[in-house]
Structure 1
Amino acid sequence: MATEKELRDLNKNVYKVDPNFKDGGNKTKLTDKSDGNLGKNEKNVVIAGGKKFKVLSVKDGDYGFQGMAVAPIVNGTPDVSQVTVVAAGTYPDDGRDFKAALKGMSPNGSPQDDVALNYVGDLISDHPDWTINQLSGYSQSAYMLKVGAHFGIPATVFSGWFQYRSLTEAEEKFMKENPHLFINYRQKNDDVTIWNDFNKRWGNSDDFGTIVWMDGSSHKLESWDFDEKTGQLKIPDSLGNSEGAMIQQSHFIMRGFLAQLTMLDQLKAKLTASGGGLSNNEKIYLDDQQALLAVNTGRSAYQNAMANAIKVYQNAITEAEDIWQETLREARAQIEELSDNEMKDSLSAIGATEQRIVGEPTEFFQQKINKAKMMDEKFESLSKEIKSKINELVQLDQQLAQQLRS
C-alpha cells in the first residue's frame, strides 16, 4: 500500500487530470495513454514520496470530478496488486467543481459522490486482475470515505470535510464495524472543514472514530509532516494530540493485523494447492500462527492504549505535585508569621497534607502503571511460548519446513 506521504503527493498531483487545470507555469497533464501516444505536456507517470507510480486510469467526469487510479512501478512494471484511487479536491476555477462543493455542504453530501462510486465500481468490474487496496482524497473529496465504506476498501483523506450522515445504512454499518479502515486527518481549528460540514470535535454527526483530530488551523496539504523512514504522517507529541495519536496507531495496528491474516490465507492456499487438504501438522502450524498473530496484535493494541494512559497518569502525578506547591505558596502568602512546620500543621488540620494531595494519587497511578507493565509481560511470555511450539513443530516436520521455504 502507498505510504501516507505518497498519498499526500498523489492528492497534490490528481488535479492535473483536469485539462483546464492551471498550475502556474507547469503545463503537465496526467493521462492514462500509452507511452507511444503521449501528447505534448502529457505524462502517464507521477512521482509521489520519491516513488514512481503508473497512471492506469483517469476520469474527468460530471460535476467537476477528477480522479485517477495508479500503481507503483516495481522492476519497470506497474504492480496492479496494489492499486490506489485518488479523487481531486475542489478546484475553485472550475465552476462545476465549486458548485458541487457548495452542494456538498448539505446532509446528502457532494454530487461527486455518485461519480466516484461509479468510477471505482467500473474499475473493479473492468479490471478483475487489479486489486484496489486503497482510496484517498483531500478536502471536498473526503467522500472517498463513503466510497471506501461502500466497497470495503481502506480510505485515508486529508483535511476532509464530509457529511457522515450521507452514508447509506449499509455503508454506515460497515464504517462503524471497521473504523480502522478509515482515517480522516483534520486540524481542530481548520475553518474550511468547520464551516463546510460543521463537524467540530464535539458536535454535528458521529464520525465513528475515523477523524484523527490534531492541534492546528491549516487546511493546506503542505501543512502535514511525515516520517522520512516510514512515510507515516507525524503527529507532534503534545497533550492535545494524544487522542489523535492513539487513534492513528490503533488503526495502523488493525490494518497490519488484516494484512497478516491475508498472508496466512495465501499460505493456506499454497499448502492445499497440491490437493488432499491439510495435514494435521499444517493445521496446527496455521492455527498457531493465527494465535501468535492475535496475541501480538493484542499486545500492540494494549501497548498503544497503555502508553497513552501512562502519559495521562504521569501528567496527573505532575499536576498533583504542582497543586501541593501552589497550596504552600498560597498559605505562605496568607499566614507569613507562621513557620513552615506550623503552616503545614495548620493545613493538615483541614486535611491538606502532602501525602493526601501528592502521595496518595502518586501511589494510585503508580499501581496502574505497574499493572500495565505486568500485562505486557504476560503478552510477551505467551508470544514466546507460541513461537517455541511453532519452531518445534517445523523442526520435527521436515516436509512442512520444505513447503515453507519454497
Structure 2
Amino acid sequence: MATERDYNVFADEAYQIDKARAKNEDRAPLLKGDILEGTKLSQSYIVLEVADNNKNGMQAMAVAPIKDGIADTSEIIIAYAGTDFDDKLDVLTDTTTIVGGDVNLSIPQWWSAPKKIDGQAISAQKFATSIKNSYPNAVITTTGHSLGEYLAIYIAAENQWKNTGFNGPDPYNILSDDAKKWIKENPGLLANYRNNYDKIGNFGGNKTGAAILLDVSKGGYNPAKSLDYHGLSTWQFDKSGNLVAPGRSSRDSRLAQMEATTRYQLWNLSVLSNKLRKNHGGLSSSEEIFINSREALIVVNGVSTMMQDGLNTVIKEYQQAINEAEALWKETVERAQGIGMDLSYEEVMGALASGGATQANIVGETTAFYEQRIASAKQMLEEYTTLITEIQTSIDQQLVKDQQLAKDIQF
C-alpha cells in the first residue's frame, strides 16, 4: 500500500509529464513504461499510462508498484499535475473551473468568438475511466498537488475512490449530486493536506470535508514566503513514509492512515460483494466465505495496528516517567549541593533523607512501579500478537479453500 510520502512523490512527478515544459527544460518528459524509484519511495513503481492534453493543459499518469519484477496492477495510483504558471491553459483552468465552477474552457480566438472545449476536469475523468476499464480489478486511488489535487479529489469523489493529496482547492463546486452524497456518507476517504497559511490551497473552503489543516510554517506567517506555503517540499515524513507536522505525531499519522485505509478496504469489499450479487443474483457459499473472511481480516489488521501502537505508546510513556524520576533526583541533589556549599556530599544526602527525599523513594520506587507495568504491557502485546496471528491463520485457511475465487477477484 502506498505511503503518504509515495503520494507526495507522485504528485511531484506528475509535473514532469508536460512535453512542452520538458522541451523548455531540455529534458525527457515522463513516459509510459518509465520506472519511478529512489529513497523517497517505499518501493519501485512503473508508469502504466500518461495523458498530456495540449488542448486544455491536463496532465496525468497512472502508476503501479513493481512486485517480483512485474507491475502489480491490483493497486493503481492516478496522479494529476498541478498548475504550471507558465502554461496559459493551466491558469485559465484555475480561473474558469476552480474559481468559476465551469468544467468547460473558453479558448480566446482573435478572429472569432471564444472556442468552447472540454476542460481539465472532463479530461481527468476520461483518463480515470480509461484506467478503470483497462484494470477493472484494481483498487484505484488518486493524488495531486494544487490544481492536481483539486482534480484528484473530484475524480475520487465521482468514482468513489480514496484520495491522498496536497494543497488542493476544494472542488465541491463541480461535484455531481451523487458524489456529494457519497462523500457525506463516507467521511475520511479524502485526505487533502493543507498548510494553514496557504492562500492558494485553502481556496474554496472545505465542503468536501477532505481538508486536513496543519501548520508547517516553522515560525508563523511570513508574507514574503506565501508561495512557499503552497509547495510540496514543505511536507515532512518519517522513515516509514508517514506525514508528520507540529501537533501531529508520527503515531497520529500512522493511525489516521490506517483508519482511512481500513475504511477504504471495507468500502471496496462492499462494492465487490454487490458486484458479485448482481452477476448471479446472490453469493455462492465460497464467495460468502471469501467476503466474510476478507472483511474479518481487514478489521483484524486495523484493530491490530491500533492496539500495537497504543501499547507501544504506553511503554514509551512509562519509560519516560522513569527517566523523569532520575532527572528529578539529579536536579534535587544539585540544588541541595548549591544551597549547602559548605557541606560534604554525605551531609547533603543526610539532610535530604531527613526531609524524606532519598534516591530510593524518588527513583527506586518509581522505577520498580513502572518497570512492572512495562513488563505487563509487553506481555499483553505479546499475547495480543499471538492472538492476531491465530486469527489471521484461521482466516487464511478459509481463503485457501477457494484459491481460484481469490485469484479471479484479485482483491
> Does structure 2 conserve the Cα–Cα contact (< 8 Å) formed by 1:109 and 1:163?
yes
Partner-residue secondary structure (3-state), 1:21: helix
Cα distance, 1:109 vs structure 2: 6.6
Q: Which amino acid aligns with 2:51?
A: S
TM-score w.r.t. the length of structure 2 is 0.61
1:315 aligns to 2:308 (yes or no): no
1:161 aligns to 2:154 (yes or no): no
Q: Which residue of 2 aligns with 1:129?
A: 133
The structure-2 alpha-carbon separation of the partners of 1:128 and 1:362, relative to structure 1 and needing over 3 Å to count, comes to same
Cα distance, 1:68 vs structure 2: 1.1
Q: Which residue of 2 aligns with 1:21?
A: 21
CA RMSD of aligned residues (A): 5.5
How many equivalent residue pairs?
365
**Can you list the C-alpha shifts for 1:263-284, whole angstroms capped at 9, x where unaligned?**
79869988998998544x8756
TM-score w.r.t. the length of structure 1 is 0.62
Cα distance, 1:303 vs structure 2: 0.9
Q: Which residue of 2 aligns with 1:86?
A: 79
Q: Which residue of 2 aligns with 1:53?
A: 47
> Does structure 1 conserve the Cα–Cα contact (< 8 Å) formed by 2:311 and 2:381?
no
Using the alignment, how far apart are the partners of 2:407 and 2:25 within structure 1?
Answer: 54
Q: Which residue of 1 aligns with 2:109?
A: none
Q: Which amino acid aligns with 1:133?
A: I
Using the alignment, how far apart are the partners of 1:341 and 1:57 within structure 2?
Answer: 79
Percent identity, please.
21
Partner-residue secondary structure (3-state), 1:323: helix
**Can you list the C-alpha shifts for 1:313-341, whole angstroms capped at 9, x where unaligned?**
43343233223212211221121223445
User: Unpaired runs of 5+ in structure 2?
Assistant: 38-43, 104-118, 220-227
Q: Which amino acid aligns with 1:68?
A: A
Q: Which residue of 1 aligns with 2:223?
A: none
Using the alignment, how far apart are the partners of 2:89 and 2:276 within structure 1?
Answer: 50
Q: Which amino acid aligns with 2:60?
A: M
Partner-residue secondary structure (3-state), 1:86: strand
> Does structure 2 conserve the Cα–Cα contact (< 8 Å) formed by 1:113 and 1:143?
no
The correspondence for 1:327, drawn from 328, 332, 349, is 332
Q: Identify which range, 161-170 or 116-125, moves more after superposition.
A: 161-170
Q: Which residue of 1 aligns with 2:198?
A: 196
Cα distance, 1:92 vs structure 2: 3.5
1:150 aligns to 2:154 (yes or no): no
Using the alignment, how far apart are the partners of 1:141 and 1:149 within structure 2?
Answer: 12
Using the alignment, how far apart are the partners of 2:77 and 2:18 within structure 1?
Answer: 18
> Does structure 1 conserve the Cα–Cα contact (< 8 Å) formed by 2:191 and 2:212?
yes
Q: Which residue of 1 aligns with 2:188?
A: 179
Q: Which residue of 1 aligns with 2:116?
A: none
**Can you list the C-alpha shifts for 1:66-90, whole angstroms capped at 9, x where unaligned?**
3314244989998876543322234
Q: Which residue of 2 aligns with 1:233?
A: 241
The structure-2 alpha-carbon separation of the partners of 1:87 and 1:175, relative to structure 1 and needing over 3 Å to count, comes to farther
Using the alignment, how far apart are the partners of 1:373 and 1:215 within structure 2?
Answer: 38
Using the alignment, how far apart are the partners of 1:360 and 1:22 within structure 2?
Answer: 67
Partner-residue secondary structure (3-state), 1:179: coil
Q: Which amino acid aligns with 2:198?
A: N
Cα distance, 1:247 vs structure 2: 3.4
Q: Which residue of 2 aligns with 1:68?
A: 60
Q: Which amino acid aligns with 1:48?
A: L
> Does structure 1 conserve the Cα–Cα contact (< 8 Å) formed by 2:53 and 2:59?
yes
User: Unpaired runs of 5+ in structure 1?
Assistant: 31-42, 187-192
The structure-2 alpha-carbon separation of the partners of 1:52 and 1:97, relative to structure 1 and needing over 3 Å to count, comes to same
